[in-house]
Each structure stands twice: as structure tokens, then as C-alpha cells.
Amino acid sequence: MQHSLKIGTRGSPLALWQAHMVRDALLAAHSHLSPRSIEIVTVKTTGDKILDRPLAEIGGKGLFTKELEDGLYSGALDCAVHSTKDMPTHLPDGLAIDCFIKREDPRDALIAANGGCLMDLPQGAVVGSASLRRQAQLLALRPDLKVISFRGNVGTRLKKLAAGAADATLLAYAGMKRLGVAEKATDILSTDQMLPAPAQGAVCVECRADDPRIADLLAPLNDAPTAQAVTAERAFLAALEGNCRTPIAALATISGSRLTLVGKVLSLDGAACFEERREGTVLEAAAIGHAAGMTVRQKAGEDFLKAIALEQMG
């Protein structure tokens, strides 16, 4: 039979888990859909193909989305499931994010080969991470540590750690929970220790903007508090024109109708940090994020932001 809905995803175990989660949610929300009517289509993205170079070196945001978006444009896909933190802040013309699935725990987790928490790591320990945000905040807390680049999916990074490539690594706790390996975390870092990436732990579904059929199917899956928090965080990121080349962190929390955003930008070595906290109503999410981002931009100064970009390029 012809599939009535084609869901695009990257082929990593975590990406596939997320795509199946969306499929199961669609089946639960719509009785007319059946498992046979939904096809999950795996797509290899540029970020999946190039594993021997840091993300910052090969282009940053968009590395894990472009090929999926090409599938939406061509009609080969009806929608695409993404880790929202991989999404550029400005979507291509004609595409839209139609829903945000309820967010998982946004914190970062430390996995130490010999157990223990971050502050238990021995002097000069080697920590593997491909994220400039994690590297900067790690060095701010423990400047004695040696940070090396660690690319690959969750399983790959855990294998590298087990093989002795580093003393510890850092991963999004959400991904570990989704893949059933949360017990391998030896320390769940508080957001005071390490502020997450904007939209970390949130899954979104991208579609063609002119496709009301898909929008209607996805509407029951949207989680409003997640959408509001992520909107604020992505507005903060956009105001700073941030990408994988910049150590930027942001987290919005919601209590009732109130939203609180904390965002920061750091130097690559973690020695300098510019932070802003803003509050308002959930209806002001985008404005709160933008205002916080512009304030941090002013605090840091254009020379600071340019210096980070130049250091990466050099």
C-alpha cells in the first residue's frame, strides 16, 4: 500500500528513537492512521558523513538538517523530526516547525570512566566533547582539565570513553534517557554548573508551511510550555547570531504564565562570561529571548564575538 505519511529522520539510534516517538504519538492521536500508513525514511546528512572534523570547522548549524529539508521541498518527505538544538534559528523559505514534543530533561550529564562527579576528576584529566558550549563551561569550572574533541553519536562516544580515549565525556542527559543508558551518567550537572544549549532536550517536527493536512495531524502533539520555552531560547540565540562556532547557552523555565530565561555567552576557554536573566509572560517568549540576547551582545561587545569566530577559523 502507499504510505499516507512519510517521516524523515537522520539514521542515528537517537534520531530513529525520536522519529518512532513521533510516529507513536500520531497513531495515538489519530484513529484513522495505522502503523502501515506511516513510513519512517532515514536520510544521511552532511553532519553524519563528516565525523573527523569539529562541527565548528565544517559549518555549524544546518549540518544535520539540510538534506532532510531538501526532502520536504521535493515532496519525498511529509515532515522531518529534528533535535531542535540542531536547527538553525532562521528556517528556509516555505518551511515551518509545526510542533514541539514535550521536552525531556535539558541538563548535561558527565560520564566518568572511573565514576564520580565533575569535581572528583583528577587534576589534568582528559574530557572529550565536541561542543564549544560544554568545553567553555567545563573549563570555567575546572581550568586544569584537558578538553579534546569527541564527535559521534551517543553510542560512539561511550565506546570511545570505554576504549580509554578520555577520562570522561559529556552528553545531553535527555538523549541518554531516551536510549536507555541514563544509568551510565556519573554526574547530572546542575544548570548552575552548566547551562544547556538552547532547545536542548526538545524534539520538533518540521514541515512545508503550505501543507495544512500535516499541520492538522501534528497539532495534537504540540506541547505549549515546550514551544514557549524553546521560542525564548532560540530568540536569544538568534539575537547573538549564534551557531556551533559560539559557546552560547540558554534555558527558559515556566511557572504558570511566567517565563524566566537565563542566557550566556562565554570565551572558548571559559575565562570570560556574559550573562543575562529576563522574566515576563509566556506570551512574550520571543521578545524576552531577543531582549536578553541583545543585552548580552552589548555586554560582551562586537569585538568579543568576532574574536571567538576568528579563533575558530584560525
**Residue whose C-alpha cell is 528556509:** 92
Q: Which of 86, 98, 167, 187 is catalytic?
A: 86
CA distance 4 to 13: 24
Q: 210: Cβ–Cβ under 8 A, 6 or more apart, which residues? A: 94
Q: Is 98 a catalytic residue?
A: no
Q: What are phi and psi of 78, to 5 degrees?
A: -95, -30
Query: What type of residue sits at position 75?
Result: G
What string of DSSP letters covers 130-168?
--HHHHHHHHHH-TT-EEE---S-HHHHHHHHHTTS-SE
**Residue whose C-alpha cell is 495515538:** 28
CA-to-CA dists, residue 237 to 65, 78, 232, 288, 289, angstroms: 17, 28, 9, 12, 8
Q: 268: Cβ–Cβ under 8 A, 6 or more apart, which residues? A: 132, 135, 136, 247, 308, 311, 312
CA distance 199 to 204: 10
Give the three-class secondary structure for 40.
strand
Q: Which of 257, 258, 256, 297 is nearest to 276 (CA)?
A: 297
Known catalytic residues are 86
